[in-house]
Amino acid sequence: MNVKGVALEYACFGPPPSEAPTIVLLHEGLGCVALWRDIPELLSERTGLGVLAYSRQGYGQSDPADLPLPLDFMTREAVDVLPRVLEQSGIRRCILFGHSDGATIAAIYAGSVEDHRVRGLILEAPHFFTEEMGLREIARARDSFAASDMRDRMAKYHRDPEGAFRGWCDTWLDAGFKGWNVSEVIDYIRVPILAIQGRGDQYGTLAQIDEIETRAYCPVDTAVLDCQHAPHHEAREATLEAVSEYCARLLRIEAAEVAPA
């Protein structure tokens, strides 16, 4: 896939957009297509929906990104790149499923861009504002990257592991990023939300989920699970069950709305 002259890695699973809605997977700060592992296939099997996963510029096998990333990189991804990804993929109806930074991008898109193709949001470990404990964890990751074989391990999945790590770490730890806050986008979301968070998430507290529940004018379901930052890997069955039930409910609601009187 080529977006604004940038080659983006992507993979599709299950039925095409012409036959069923699509779950669009938006990865975390150090994620990519491959690091979802078998989750895309399992999601398609459990829900009967198509699944599209893509790697943002600078991640996976997508083209490298110019560094440093702008401090509003998540907003730019949401309003400049994601619409083109959806268009090029032939998406007709979709559910945005984002993890960590990807969840923030999904929320920004739904709260900033009027797109009736988006029928729901799954926000897993989202970030709407910085938290000191999360920044400390990123600083520890920075130290680990310098002192361990983390770069070599990342090279198995990322074409440019140094760039992928620096794009994430250096942006979050930039002094200008400390006051970053995009909570206002929640006020404008008008589709049902499923918010998923691990009780032991090392990058964010339940304050992020509280922000959704406090500000949202749309229906919000929550799943707080016994895991850390990656419920889809650390609490697989509970996450898949919550997502499957959410998707099934959305499909039932949509079927009822279009049924003849």
**Chain position carrying tokens 């002192």:** 147
Q: How far apart are CA 225 and CA 144, in angstroms?
A: 27
- For 199-245, the pLDDT digits (tens) are 999 999 999 999 999 999 999 999 999 999 999 999 999 999 999 99
pLDDT on residue 253 = 86
- Contact between residue 134 and residue 145 where contact means Cβ atoms under 8 Å apart: no
For the whole model, what pTM was predicted? 0.96
| Residue 5 neighbours by CB under 8 Å, 6+ apart | none
List the domain boundaries for the chain. 2-256
How much of the chain exceeds pLDDT 70, in percent? 98
Q: Is the peptide bond before 68 cis (omega within 30 degrees of 0)?
A: yes
| Residue 64 neighbours by CB under 8 Å, 6+ apart | 57, 58, 159, 160, 163
Instruction: Look up residue 159 and give its amino acid.
Output: R
pLDDT band (50, 70, 90) for residue 256: confident
pLDDT on residue 258 = 59
- For 161-213, the pLDDT digits (tens) are 999 999 999 999 999 999 999 999 999 999 999 999 999 999 999 999 999 99
Please check the confidence at residue 260 and state whether its pLDDT lies above 80.
no
- Contact between residue 243 and residue 122 where contact means Cβ atoms under 8 Å apart: yes
Rg (CA), the chain: 17
How much of the chain exceeds pLDDT 90, in percent? 96
pLDDT on residue 88 = 95
Domain 2-256 has CATH 3.40.50.1820: yes
pLDDT band (50, 70, 90) for residue 57: very high
List the alpha helices (DSSP H) in the chain. Answer: 39-47, 73-76, 82-88, 101-112, 132-147, 150-154, 161-172, 207-215, 231-234, 236-258
Residue 261 is encoded by which pair of tokens?
Answer: 């009187």
- Contact between residue 113 and residue 77 where contact means Cβ atoms under 8 Å apart: no
